[in-house]
Structure 1
Amino acid sequence: MSALFESLAQFHFLRPWWLLVLLAAVWLPWAVGRQGDVRRRWRGTIAPHLLDALVVGETRRRAVRPVHGIAALLALGAIALAGPTWERERPPFLADKAPLAIAIDLGTTMDAIDVSPTRLERAKLKVKALLAHRDGGRTALYAYAGSTHMVLPLTDDADLLQTFVDALQTRIMPVPGKDTAQAVRTVDTALAKEPVPGTILLLTDGVEAGAAKAIQAQHGSRRTQVVVLAIGTAEGGPLRAGDGAAPGLDADGLHALRDSGIPVATLTTDSDADVAWVQRHVQSHVEQTHASDTQRWRDAGWPLTIPIALLAVLWFRKGWSVRWIAGLAVAMALGAPPAPAQAQAPAQAEEKSWTWADLWLTPDQQGRRAFERGDYAIAAQRFTDPMWRGVAYYRNGQYVEAARAFGQVNTTDGQFNLGNALARQEKYKEASARYRLVLQQRPGWQPAQKNLALMTKMLARKPPPQSDEESPDIPPDKIVDDPSKPPPPPSDHTQQMGRVQQNAEMWMRAIQTSPTELLARKFALQEGKP
């Protein structure tokens, strides 16, 4: 009963101005009835006692007439469009957008065998189970001991994450010890750049006393949530190498973290209940943080479309359907564009001819569909945006038309593309001018610098001897196109990341080593160790 009263208290309309249509629904039957009232029209002309005898045909007036159906349609449609609601709905795909940074403790105590096979190996198994629960959610991976290092940035590639998780070993850390506060600060700095609040998961066998306050302060910022999954037993156990023992879990320290509001859980060896617990905290943190701007009210007006459809069936009675079909035909005739003039060129007539797709897609949308299919000639005819039209012409090898289209774009990327189109036409001098203009607007841009250097080299080349045939020893021109084209053009950061990724892939192919050794070398270089 309390839930019912709570729903009634929250009942409101999302678009209340549509309720003004209810006035028309009430007025319409009254206006039609008033217009058809014979007595009202003749009351001032014929005496009342004679009017009763003269009026015929009103003995069996219908209580429900077509106008009442129209009024009901207007009323139901107004309520449906007004959007009645009384509860909120969870935003779709919100959990998939919630970023999670997993920070794994690689201190020497994580090699303890009190948890089979070791604490670290069990942590890896929990990460694998967590990635399966996230189902493509963006996850980052960090390793920390006395220093903190990013293994992988946020990614939805679970296989790549699992590969590097399996490669983690305690021996790869360049600085021994444990600095949890530094790890939390480092990860939080990276997550602060994300538009959606994130969660830091610490997979560790303990938190040093000095780091508890720092974690509490970070957790209290309400931007990044810190979750701790403690791995180990209260008794502790020997290290795998047999050269020492690891202490047990600090129960008092874990309780202190819980009391300060930090979610803390211990390892469950017989199930993945701890993994599900972590995922629930990741989702709930995003939902609570974004409750005011991401959660929306559930629109309950759509069920009214069922009675609206049933009432609309009455329009197909004899005498009604003909009027609606005629009205639809007139509307389509008036909405269709005029036929192309006979004097137009065939290409122009084809470009401006009306098609059925024009009813549903804009010209740019039609061009994008053709572009994605590889029909660049058709895409160039459909596009109205000059940048997209120029790219379509360029992909189709029509460099003259591409240059004409790019010339209409007064942006850096448009001028760069114009230079490429001119270079393809062997207009090296004009292309060089465009590249210089681009470098004035975007100094140091590598694609423009490379193309300008190539144009300078082509202009400095001695002209071949005059002949009817071109000398065959002249190599073909090589224009360095921006690999991120077609538009929308990416930012400088995207281009730099693409080059870094390409160099990293070349480096990975050039070396023969395991991911573990690669991470060890990377961490050592980051700490300035040879």
Structure 2
Amino acid sequence: MTFNQSNRRRQTRAGKQPSLPLRSSVPWVVGLLFLLVLAVGTVRNPHFWLTADQRGDRLFAEKKYAEAAKTYADPWHIGMAQYRDGQFEAAAKTFARVPGADGAFDQGNAWLMGGKYDEAIERYDRALGFRPGWKEAEDNKALAMARKEMLAESSKHRAEESANAYKPQEIKFDLKGENKEGKPTEMNGEKMSDAELRALWLRRVQTTPGDFLRAKFAYQAASAEQPSGTGGTP
């Protein structure tokens, strides 16, 4: 190898050396820009890193049930948010996407709260088919059947007997405006429809169908002790 050839190789190698640090820095620059974009997105949207169900959980905890229902991805969570928001028919249809006993049971609860007693009974039967002897399903089915029977009665006397048969001891309404805890009932001495009672009960507590219907039976029993007058349907 001649001196000139060796010198050219050294010069070639020397000429390439300044470009090496520049090439190796490119991935770092790209990574830094990516992190900056993510940081800006996080500042603008604090929920940037959360999944749809996690965002829904936050809205649910804030009692923003309608928003939570639109945010969730999981059918069961969507149905629960709709249920708490009073969207019982929508909740029942959503719970139909949940397989097995739990899906059928939650469907029954939604139909029961929505006043669709035949549908509720059928779903409870389906839940019991998956899980025989399930006490909660049996109890709620009995409540749905009792309510259906009450609505079918043409005689006021027989309707009152049906209501009294299921009146719980622990719940008693005072139509003067307070319940046993001394809280206003917002009833103002007037009979209330199913929809009005459901809305009232959902505002007051986070409830199950059994809680609601037991309260309704107690309310109707109290109504029977007052002079009859105009008002909503039983």
TM bracket (short chain):
0.5 to 0.7
Query: Match for residue 82 of structure 1?
Result: none
Structure 1 residues 402 and 56: CA distance shift in structure 2, 3 A: same
Query: Match for residue 456 of structure 1?
Result: 145
- Asked if 1:378 is matched to 2:67, the reply is yes
Contact 1:368 1:379 in 2 (8 A): yes
Query: Match for residue 390 of structure 1?
Result: 79
CA distance in 2, matches of 1:456, 1:376: 29
The structural deviation recorded for 1:398 is 1.5
Contact 1:447 1:481 in 2 (8 A): no
The structural deviation recorded for 1:364 is 1.4
CA distance in 2, matches of 1:436, 1:59: 84
Structure 1 residues 428 and 325: CA distance shift in structure 2, 3 A: same
**1:480 paired residue among 210, 214, 234:** 210
CA distance in 2, matches of 1:474, 1:357: 41
Structure 1 residues 412 and 324: CA distance shift in structure 2, 3 A: closer
- Asked if 1:52 is matched to 2:28, the reply is no
Letter in 1 for 2:57: R
Structure 1 residues 52 and 432: CA distance shift in structure 2, 3 A: same
Contact 2:92 2:111 in 1 (8 A): yes
- Asked if 1:364 is matched to 2:94, the reply is no
Structure 1 residues 418 and 51: CA distance shift in structure 2, 3 A: same
Letter in 1 for 2:58: R
SS in 2 for 1:429: helix
Structure 1 residues 412 and 481: CA distance shift in structure 2, 3 A: farther
CA distance in 2, matches of 1:52, 1:481: 95
Letter in 2 for 1:50: N
The structural deviation recorded for 1:441 is 2.4
Contact 2:75 2:95 in 1 (8 A): yes
Structure 1 residues 410 and 321: CA distance shift in structure 2, 3 A: closer
User: Hey, which of these two has a bigger chunk of strand by percent?
Assistant: 1
Query: Match for residue 408 of structure 1?
Result: 97
Query: Match for residue 427 of structure 1?
Result: 116
The structural deviation recorded for 1:407 is 0.8
**Given the two structures, how large is their TM-score scaled by the length of structure 1?**
0.25
The structural deviation recorded for 1:452 is 1.2
Letter in 2 for 1:385: D
Structure 1: runs of 5 or more not aligned: 1-46, 71-314, 337-353, 466-470, 483-530
Query: Match for residue 284 of structure 1?
Result: none
**2:136 paired residue among 429, 447, 463:** 447
CA distance in 1, matches of 2:124, 2:145: 11
Contact 2:52 2:72 in 1 (8 A): yes
The structural deviation recorded for 1:451 is 1.5
Structure 1 residues 58 and 419: CA distance shift in structure 2, 3 A: closer
TM alignment of 1:121-136, pairs within 5 A: none
CA distance in 1, matches of 2:107, 2:72: 17
Larger CA Rg, structure 1 vs 2 = 1
Structure 1 residues 53 and 472: CA distance shift in structure 2, 3 A: closer
CA distance in 2, matches of 1:385, 1:323: 36
The structural deviation recorded for 1:49 is 3.8
Structure 2: runs of 5 or more not aligned: 156-189, 199-207, 213-234
SS in 1 for 2:115: coil
Letter in 1 for 2:209: I
SS in 2 for 1:357: coil
Q: What CA RMSD, in Å, does the superposition of the two structures yield over aligned residues?
A: 4.2
The structural deviation recorded for 1:52 is 3.1
CA distance in 2, matches of 1:363, 1:438: 29
4+ residue segments displaced more than 6 Å: 57-62, 329-332
CA distance in 1, matches of 2:98, 2:115: 21
Letter in 2 for 1:357: H
**1:178-204 residue CA offsets vs partner (Å, 9 max, x unmatched):** xxxxxxxxxxxxxxxxxxxxxxxxxxx
The structural deviation recorded for 1:386 is 0.7
Letter in 2 for 1:459: K
Comparing 405-414 with 373-382, which one deviates more in the overlay? 373-382
Structure 1 residues 442 and 57: CA distance shift in structure 2, 3 A: closer
**Given the two structures, how large is their TM-score scaled by the length of structure 2?**
0.53
SS in 2 for 1:374: coil
Contact 1:447 1:480 in 2 (8 A): no
CA distance in 2, matches of 1:371, 1:59: 65
**2:125 paired residue among 436, 441, 463:** 436
Identity %: 30
SS in 1 for 2:210: coil
CA distance in 2, matches of 1:58, 1:431: 83
CA distance in 1, matches of 2:211, 2:98: 17
**1:193-234 residue CA offsets vs partner (Å, 9 max, x unmatched):** xxxxxxxxxxxxxxxxxxxxxxxxxxxxxxxxxxxxxxxxxx
SS in 1 for 2:137: helix
